[in-house]
C-alpha cells in the first residue's frame, strides 16, 4: 500500500468555483495527493465533487486558486495536454467502434506505433478479462463489461493520473462489488494515482487510501478510512460515515484531550475531545451502536450512564436494543446475538458503558442530507 505522505504530486491550493459569480459551490478546496495514492472525494449529492473533478480534468475553469500536477500549474492547460485518464458513470464508449478500436483510440491520437498499439490493446483486454471480446461493439456487451472497457481505455496510455466519477453508479450491487475489487486490483498492480468520486461510503471505505469527506463545498476531513471511522473530526463526518448515536448535553469539563459532557440523565460522559471547545456550550456526544455495551460487561469501561429500554429488533447475528434518555433522545446499542443477550421489560432502567476513546464531543452540526 502507498505511504500517505506528501510528495506534492497533485495539489489543490485554495480552489474555489462559482458557476454564477454569486454562490461558491466549491468554497475552499485544499488537498495534497501523493503519487500512487487512491484518494476518494465522498460527499452528498450536490456537494461539489464532480465540479472538483471537472476543474482537474480541465473541462471547467477555476474561479480562484490553483491546481498543480508534479509541481506545475495546470489551471490554464488544455485538457488533452494534462495526461489524465477518465472514467465516468455513463461509459461514453464510441458506439460505432469495436472494443479493440475503442481501446486503440487514446494511443492513436498519441501517435504510438501500430505494433505497440496492437500489443497494448490485447494486454489491456486481457487485464480486464475481456480478451476474446475485441471484435464486438459496445452494444454487444453487458453494462459491467462496458464499464471494464471504459476502465481499460482510461488506463491504456499509462496516464499520470486517473479520475473516476461515480464509475459504478449505474451497476447493480453485485456487479458493483466485483468492479470495486477489479479497480482495487488494477490500482495495486499498475500503481497509478486515482481521484475517485462517490456518494457511497462503503465504496469509499473499502477502496481508498484516503477519503476526503466533502460537504457544502468544503473538505470536512481527509484521512485514512479507519481514522475517519474511529476519530471523526466533527459531527457531520461522524454522521455521514457509518451509524452513530448523538446524545445532546452541555460541555462541563475540558482538558487537552478529554471533554466531559453532562447529558439529560444527569450522567457526565467522558469523551475524546473533538470540535466542542467552549465550557458551557450545548454539544453532543457521539458513540457508535457497536461501541456501547450493556452492563454487566466483561470489559472495563471509563464511561457509563443510564437510559430506559424501549424496544429491540432482531436482525440475526445482532440484536439492536433501543433506549431513551429523559430529554427524548433515542439511542441504539448493537449487541451480538449470543447467550448473554439480555431480556428487558419496557421502561426498565439500564446502565450502558463505553470507552472514552469511542465517545466524541462535537459541536452541533446540520443534519446530513438524504
Q: What is the contact surface with ligand ADP in residues (CB under 6 A)?
A: 19, 25, 43, 45-51
Helix (H, G, I), strand (E, B) or coil at 23: coil
- Going by the DSSP 8-state scheme, the letter that residue 122 receives in this structure is H
Nearer to ligand ADP, 24 or 263 (CB): 24
DSSP codes joined into one string, 196-207: EEES-HHHHHHH
How far apart (Å, rounded) are the C-alpha atoms in residues 364 and 370?
Answer: 18
Does residue 237 contact residue 221 with C-beta atoms inside 8 Å?
yes
**Nearest Cα residue to 168 out of 146, 137, 141, 195:** 146
Q: What are phi and psi of 310, to 5 degrees?
A: -115, -35
23 binds, among Mg ion, ligand ADP, none (CB under 5 to 8 A by kind): none
Q: How far is the CB of 125 from ligand ADP (least distance, A)?
A: 31
Q: Which does 45 bind (CB under 5 to 8 A by kind): ligand ADP, Mg ion, none?
A: ligand ADP
**180 is in the binding site of which of ligand ADP, Mg ion, none (Cβ under 5 to 8 A by kind)?**
none
Q: Which is nearer to ligand ADP, 107 or 213 (CB)?
A: 213
From the list 1, 35, 43, the residue with the least C-alpha distance to 236 is 43
Residue spans of beta strands (DSSP E) within 105-217: 161-165, 194-198, 210-215
CB closer to Mg ion out of 42 and 156: 42
CB nearer to ligand ADP: give 16 or 122: 16
Q: Give the number of other Cβ atoms within 10 Å of residue 161's Cβ.
A: 22
φ/ψ of residue 331, rounded to 5: -140, 160
Q: How far is the CB of 184 from ligand ADP (least distance, A)?
A: 22
Choose among Mg ion, ligand ADP, none what residue 210 binds, the Cβ cut-off being 5 to 8 Å by kind.
none
User: Smallest distance, Å, CB 181 to ligand ADP?
Assistant: 24
Q: How far is the CB of 299 from ligand ADP (least distance, A)?
A: 40
Rounded to a whole number of angstroms, the minimum distance from the CB of residue 56 to ligand ADP is: 12
For Mg ion, the closer of residues 171 and 238 by Cβ is 171
Sign of CA dihedral 18, 19, 21, 22: negative
Decide which of ligand ADP, Mg ion, none touches 365; Cβ closer than 5 to 8 Å per partner kind.
none
Q: Which does 65 bind (CB under 5 to 8 A by kind): Mg ion, ligand ADP, none?
A: none
Q: Are the CB atoms for 269 and 247 separated by under 8 Å? A: yes
Share of the chain residues as helix, strand and coil, in percent rounded to the nearest 5: 25, 35, 40
Q: Which is nearer to ligand ADP, 14 or 282 (CB)?
A: 14
Q: Which one of ligand ADP, Mg ion, none interacts with residue 183, CB within 5 to 8 A by kind? A: none
CB of 163 vs Mg ion, minimal distance in Å: 12
Within its chain, how far is the Cα of 367 from the centroid? 18
Binding site residues, Mg ion, CB under 5 A: 50
State the nearest-atom distance from the C-beta of 156 to Mg ion, in Å.
Answer: 25
Nearer to ligand ADP, 195 or 333 (CB): 195
Amino acid at each position: 500500500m502507498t505511504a500517505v505522505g506528501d510528495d506534492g504530486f497533485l495539489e489543490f491550493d485554495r480552489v474555489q468555483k462559482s458557476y454564477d459569480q454569486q454562490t461558491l459551490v466549491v468554497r475552499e478546496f485544499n488537498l495534497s495527493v501523493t503519487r500512487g495514492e487512491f484518494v476518494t472525494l465522498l460527499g452528498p449529492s450536490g456537494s461539489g465533487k464532480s465540479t472538483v473533478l471537472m476543474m482537474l480534468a480541465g473541462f471547467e475553469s477555476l474561479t480562484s486558486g490553483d491546481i498543480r500536477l508534479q509541481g506545475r500549474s495546470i489551471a490554464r492547460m488544455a485538457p488533452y495536454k494534462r495526461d489524465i485518464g477518465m472514467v465516468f458513470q455513463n461509459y461514453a464508449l464510441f458506439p460505432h467502434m469495436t472494443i479493440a478500436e475503442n481501446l486503440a483510440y487514446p494511443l492513436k491520437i498519441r501517435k504510438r506505433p501500430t505494433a505497440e498499439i496492437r500489443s497494448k490493446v490485447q494486454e489491456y483486454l486481457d487485464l480486464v478479462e475481456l480478451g476474446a471480446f475485441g471484435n464486438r461493439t459496445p452494444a454487444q456487451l453487458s453494462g459491467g463489461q462496458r464499464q471494464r472497457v471504459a476502465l481499460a481505455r482510461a488506463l491504456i496510455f499509462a496516464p499520470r493520473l486517473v479520475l473516476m466519477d461515480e464509475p459504478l453508479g449505474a451497476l447493480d450491487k453485485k456487479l458493483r462489488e466485483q468492479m470495486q475489487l477489479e479497480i482495487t486490483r488494477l490500482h495495486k498492480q499498475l500503481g497509478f494515482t486515482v481521484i475517485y468520486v462517490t456518494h457511497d461510503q462503503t465504496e469509499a471505505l473499502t477502496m481508498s487510501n484516503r477519503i476526503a469527506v466533502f460537504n457544502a463545498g468544503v473538505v470536512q476531513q481527509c484521512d485514512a478510512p479507519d481514522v475517519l471511522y474511529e476519530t471523526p473530526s466533527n459531527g457531520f463526518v461522524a454522521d455521514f460515515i457509518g451509524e452513530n448515536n448523538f446524545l445532546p448535553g452541555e460541555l462541563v469539563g475540558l482538558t487537552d484531550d478529554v471533554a466531559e459532557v453532562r447529558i439529560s440523565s444527569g450522567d457526565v460522559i467522558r469523551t475524546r475531545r473533538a470540535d466542542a471547545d467552549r465550557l458551557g456550550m450545548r454539544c453532543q456526544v457521539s458513540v457508535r451502536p457497536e461501541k456501547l455495551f450493556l452492563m454487566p460487561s466483561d470489559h472495563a469501561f471509563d464511561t457509563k450512564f443510564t437510559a430506559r429500554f424501549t424496544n429491540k429488533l432482531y436482525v440475526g447475528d445482532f440484536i439492536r436494543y433501543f433506549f431513551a434518555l429523559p430529554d427524548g433522545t433515542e439511542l441504539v446499542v448493537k449487541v451480538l446475538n449470543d447467550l448473554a443477550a439480555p431480556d428487558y421489560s419496557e421502561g426498565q432502567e439500564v446502565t450502558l458503558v463505553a470507552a472514552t476513546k469511542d465517545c466524541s464531543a462535537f459541536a452541533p452540526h446540520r443534519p446530513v442530507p438524504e
